[in-house]
Amino acid sequence: MARSNDEVAALFQEYADLISLTGGDAFRARAHEKAARSIGGYHADVATLDVQGLQEIPDVGRSVAEKIVEYLRDGRVAAVEELRARVPPGVRRLTAVPTLGPRKARVLHEELGISSVEELADAVRAERLRDLRGFGPKTEENILHGIELLRSAGDRVLLDVAADLAEDIVGRLAEVSGCSRCACAGSLRRVRETIGDIDVLAAAEDSAPLMRAFTELPYVTEVIAHGTTKTSVRTTEGLAVDLRVVPPESWGAALQYFTGSRAHNIRLRERAVHLGLKLSEYGLFDAETGSRIASRTEEDVYAGLGLPWIPPPLREDRGEIEAGLAGTLPRPVTEADLRGDLHTHTDLTDGLAPLQEMVAAAADRGYAYYAVTDHGPALSMQRMTDERMLDQRARLRALDGRYGRRRGGLRLLHGAELNIDPDGGVDWPEDFLAGFDLCVASVHSHFRQDRAALTRRLVRACEHPCVDIIGHPTTRLIGKRPGIDVDLDAVFEACARTGTVLEINARPERLDLRDEDILRARRYGVRFAVNSDAHSTRHLATLRFGIGTAQRGWLTAGDVVNTWPLTRLRRHLARGRPKRRPDSR
């Protein structure tokens, strides 16, 4: 179920959009955007705070704090409702189109009377936008692509939204009398990057109490179908959730059946037929006698087919069955394998928490090491200077080893996230960069360069002696911005040649690299880092989604550099790096 912070953050982001859509003050809209971001990343639940406590959240003043209290008390905010009444719902829907912000949506409505995504698509195809100031053929092309992205997403939600809801459902149903097992299945258990609906599986002799408890969950808005073995509902998140209840003796077979992708399950059934068996959600049976061979655990079912247990993220028919038969199935990396996080931010730039809070939170996660990588000066809005970065380094060195229960304490690495400029250069000269423990380099602008230019840009960054990791390599934002048009095979080859690490950014809206790209890069011998890109203490926990993506890419712990001991990691980071200058602290 959504945290209060997430609900409130979404409300204030909508409020900011409504201010822009109604021609309100741009500064006021931006202030509410910043407040929304701060609320979403704040470590404490806003529902537990009063007006004074809420004002301790960065970018939250008294007016915003009072609106939060009003929303938590009444379920609505009068100021938001007033603006909602002034904007047709279809116009608000326009702002969901990637690349189309509130101001352009307002122009389209006022000048052309467009009030739905369908009308917008028709207007683009009729070339009606080209006479508007700020619009043109390229804008039309971008809008059409954005509409395609929006439609392809459909009713799907990001992985974290589905996971939070599913975990709450499973936790509540597991407490129902008579429930012996309960777990999520389907694409969520396979850690797909977006989720269309949630599959929950439970085991019980009597399904009635579970079905009743399921339909009475506080966030269920509609019961779509109600039965003894399957019930379907829709929730306040707009997600459809299916609950299936099976006898306890069928648990393993049902969990396998409702987890595997369609293609994976077809391959398993074909193998069962080849072996003279029959496979269903109730078990693995002898085809002639009908006697049950296996059903209680997934391990038993796979073993009955002559296979090892296949981890859920691998169940996509990408060669996992062949690898299982050949004995070459990898042991995927797990979150427990991680020794640290190599890409995080503080309030020195665009993070929400100060250095000491981020370090303490990392120590609480049991890490052996932790890197702080605030932005370099090329992103001018971050107001970074040499002096500010060196001052942070001195403060970080003073904290090194002071937190954590491990012997020697949590070891801290001072890094930076550098901006890869249009030519492939990065912030700061080499002699200054040599003073960092590691450097992440990322593309943050000029996304629409041509393929050759973008490829040269990333390859040049890989070849820089101080660049250790390429951050969020394709820059995509799921459902909002496509990845850049780059020759990834050339980038993978450059990474393998130079030893540059590719990031798997764990932010649910990124998950970049994608699992398909990881599979390709792995064949080149590329190394990876699974990083949170945390901008608050709360974001540190998103690493689990990056790990799921790494598992879908068949990565083992050895492929991921932040599973390595610190000594080995430091050796890798030191390769080819110029010597530090004396005043680099």
Residue 161 sits in the same domain as residue 45: no
The backbone torsions φ and ψ at residue 19, rounded to the nearest 5 degrees and listed phi first, read -60, -45
Residue 84 sits in the same domain as residue 215: no
Residue 562 domain-assigned? yes
Q: Say how many C-beta atoms besides its own lie within 10 A of residue 483's C-beta.
A: 18
Residue 271 sits in the same domain as residue 407: no
469 SS3 class: strand
Residue 63 domain-assigned? yes
CATH code of the domain containing 264? 3.30.210.10
Residue 333 domain-assigned? no
CATH code of the domain containing 537? 3.20.20.140
For residues 469 and 441, the answer to whether their CB atoms sit within 8 Å is yes
Number of domains in the chain: 4
Residue 584 domain-assigned? no
CATH code of the domain containing 101? 1.10.150.110
| pTM greater than 0.95 (yes/no) | no
Residue 28, judged by CB atoms within 10 A of its CB (0-12, 13-18, 19+), counts as middle
Residue 361 sits in the same domain as residue 393: yes
For residues 458 and 512, the answer to whether their CB atoms sit within 8 Å is no
CA dist 321 and 264 (Å) reads 8
Tell me, rounded to whole angstroms, the distance of Cα 338 from its chain centroid. Answer: 17
* Domain end marker among 185, 214, 246: 246
Instruction: For residue 513, say if its preceding peptide bond is cis, omega within 30 degrees of 0.
Output: yes
* Domain end marker among 294, 326, 358: 326
* Domain end marker among 84, 119, 153: 153
Residue 13 domain-assigned? yes
Residue 170 sits in the same domain as residue 134: no
Residue 256 sits in the same domain as residue 241: no
236 Rama sector, left if φ>0, alpha if ψ -120 to 50, beta otherwise: alpha
Residue 582 domain-assigned? no
Residue 288 sits in the same domain as residue 406: no
Strands of 116-213, DSSP E: 157-158, 181-184, 194-195, 197-203
What is the layout of strands, in order, in the sheet containing 438-442? 340-341, 369-375, 411-419, 438-442, 469-470, 501-505, 528-531
CA dist 368 and 336 (Å) reads 12
Q: pLDDT 10s per residue in the chain (585 long)? A: 556 888 899 899 989 988 988 888 888 998 999 899 889 888 888 999 999 999 999 889 999 999 999 999 998 899 999 998 888 777 777 887 877 878 888 888 888 888 888 888 888 888 888 888 878 888 888 888 888 877 766 678 999 999 999 999 999 999 999 999 999 999 999 999 999 999 999 999 999 999 999 999 999 999 999 999 999 999 987 889 999 999 999 999 999 999 999 999 999 999 999 999 999 999 999 999 999 999 999 999 999 999 999 999 999 999 999 999 999 999 999 999 999 999 999 999 999 999 999 999 999 999 999 999 999 998 766 789 999 999 999 999 999 999 987 788 999 999 999 999 999 999 999 999 999 999 999 999 999 899 999 999 999 999 999 999 999 999 999 988 889 999 999 999 999 999 999 999 999 999 999 999 999 999 999 999 999 999 999 999 999 999 999 999 999 999 999 999 999 999 999 987 776 554 444
CATH code of the domain containing 240? 3.30.460.10
Q: Say how many C-beta atoms besides its own lie within 10 A of residue 88's C-beta.
A: 14
44 SS3 class: coil
Contacts (Cβ under 8 Å, ≥6 apart) of 43: 353, 357, 361, 536, 537, 538
Residue 379 sits in the same domain as residue 494: yes
Residue 120 sits in the same domain as residue 32: yes
Residue 529 sits in the same domain as residue 438: yes
Residue 59 domain-assigned? yes
Residue 583 domain-assigned? no
Residue 427 sits in the same domain as residue 522: yes
> Token pair 């969520």 is at which residue?
188
Residue 261 sits in the same domain as residue 350: no
| Residue range(s) defining the domain that contains residue 257 | 252-326
Torsion sign across C-alpha atoms 485, 490, 496, 500: negative
